[in-house]
Amino acid sequence: MGQSEQYVRLVDHVSLRQLEQPCVYDRRRDELYELNQEGFAALTRCRGHLTLAEVGLEPEFQRVCLEEGLLALSERPWPRPLSLGPAPTPSLRYLELQVTWRCNLACGHCYLGPAQAVDLPLEQIAALVREFEAMGGLRLMLSGGEPLLHPRWSEINAILAALPLRRVLLTNGLLLRGSVLAELHCEEVQISLDGAQAGHDRLRGPGSFAGALAAAQAVRDSGRDLSIATMVHAGNLDQFEELEELVRGLGAIEWGIDAPSLSGRLADHPGLAVSPAQAAQAMAHAFGGAFHGHGGGMACGLHLATVAANGLVAQCGFYLDQPLGRAGEGLWTCWERRRPLALAQLTPCAQCAAVEDCGGGCRFRASDPLGPDLVMCALHGVEPVRIGKEKP
């Protein structure tokens, strides 16, 4: 049977999304491809009930889709339903669920402060992920606290199993072993490594580095994507060369390095704070993408929301004191209350030569809500005061 007579459909880990642009999303690779309307319309016909000839894709587009593994062929019909609900504007692409505020560590820099026995109810998690998917969501991040400490973790994991989203677990790694890892329905696990052994254990407690490293190796060996998150602090500034070798050796797809803001438990440990220049020097080692992204002339977090363990919905985990609403009201309702910040509203960012790359940095870390994020200024070699004086 020739190729054109075979039935064609989007493979299971690929979904169509009608966001600001029509898109197709490969959740295994975490790759979002923008399409024109014609290509998008053609892919909506690839549901396994028509042959390649009947679908009538433009030849070059068809070649790319088959080569990229977005489409697959079969000699028999193999129907697949495609859900294509409307998405809000701006689109909500990334959702962090802080499923619990329980934790097995007491890290000196934790933005949540002391651990608490507060859990997002299972039924609410199920409703939130359903709504997120229906809104065109791409990437679901399960965080905490330590998410594996949610008393109903195995049921949460069962909900994840059938979810057509990229599922990412953010963990300290200490509980990620045996059947918990083997049965985990996540494409990616992000583990926190806050330094080489001395720096990590200073922040997270003795023995925690060995546990995190073992978990990172186990994630890699399980075939899931591994990403690493690191917080810059006074006790790890001299360890970034060593850490880079370690992170690259682990085969991580992404290394996110962040500088602390004086919130949560860090307010009690001012000795851990670093200068913007020190933070920027460390952050230059980072690689891979980030989910706090900006775009279209808007500031950070344009497509991100967080739901906290107490049910509050916010634009990100740092804004829980200015919530958009409660999870019970529905994600769409809360998301519509969001007022994204335009870069043109920021000073001196609006006049900054680096604004396209930087996007105004982290709005929470900027000491003035409309002012510059000095860490990002240092990272981009920008002198914010001078730019400010040049303002008309």
Applying CB under 6 A, the residues found at the interface with ligand SF4 are 292, 300-301, 304, 316, 318, 348-349, 352, 354-355, 358, 360-364, 372-373, 376-377, 380, 382, 384, 387
Identify the H or E element spanning 356: helix 355-358
Encoded amino acid at 6, one letter: Q
What backbone phi and psi angles, to 5 degrees, belong to 300? -55, 160
> Between 10 and 92, whose beta carbon lies closer to ligand SF4?
92
Q: In whole angstroms, how close is the CB of 353 to ligand SF4 at the nearest point?
A: 8
Encoded amino acid at 203, one letter: L
Q: In whole angstroms, how close is the CB of 348 to ligand SF4 at the nearest point?
A: 5
Q: In whole angstroms, how close is the CB of 247 to ligand SF4 at the nearest point?
A: 21
Helix axes 37-44, 59-67, angle to 10 degrees: 60
> Between 12 and 356, whose beta carbon lies closer to ligand SF4?
356
> Between 131 and 373, whose beta carbon lies closer to ligand SF4?
373
Encoded amino acid at 343, one letter: L
Encoded amino acid at 2, one letter: G
In the numeric block, which tokens belong to residue 156?
A: 């949460």
> Between 181 and 374, whose beta carbon lies closer to ligand SF4?
374
> Between 66 and 350, whose beta carbon lies closer to ligand SF4?
350
| Residue matched to tokens 């309702």 | 333
Q: In whole angstroms, how close is the CB of 118 to ligand SF4 at the nearest point?
A: 21
Encoded amino acid at 329, one letter: E
Query: Which of 15, 5, 73, 21 has the alpha carbon at shortest distance from 43?
Result: 15
Q: In whole angstroms, how close is the CB of 333 to ligand SF4 at the nearest point?
A: 20
Count of beta carbons in the 10 Å neighbourhood of residue 186: 22
Q: In whole angstroms, how close is the CB of 26 to ligand SF4 at the nearest point?
A: 24
> Between 200 and 294, whose beta carbon lies closer to ligand SF4?
294
Identify the H or E element spanning 14: strand 14-18
| Residue matched to tokens 């609900």 | 85
> Between 323 and 372, whose beta carbon lies closer to ligand SF4?
372
Q: Give the sheet arrangement for strand 188-192, strand by strand.
A: 254-258, 225-231, 188-192, 166-171, 139-143, 94-98, 304-307, 312-314, 325-326
Count of beta carbons in the 10 Å neighbourhood of residue 171: 26
Q: In whole angstroms, how close is the CB of 376 to ligand SF4 at the nearest point?
A: 4
> Between 212 and 379, whose beta carbon lies closer to ligand SF4?
379
Q: In whole angstroms, how close is the CB of 303 to ligand SF4 at the nearest point?
A: 10
Coil, strand or helix at 72: strand
Q: Is the peptide bond before 289 cis (omega within 30 degrees of 0)?
A: no
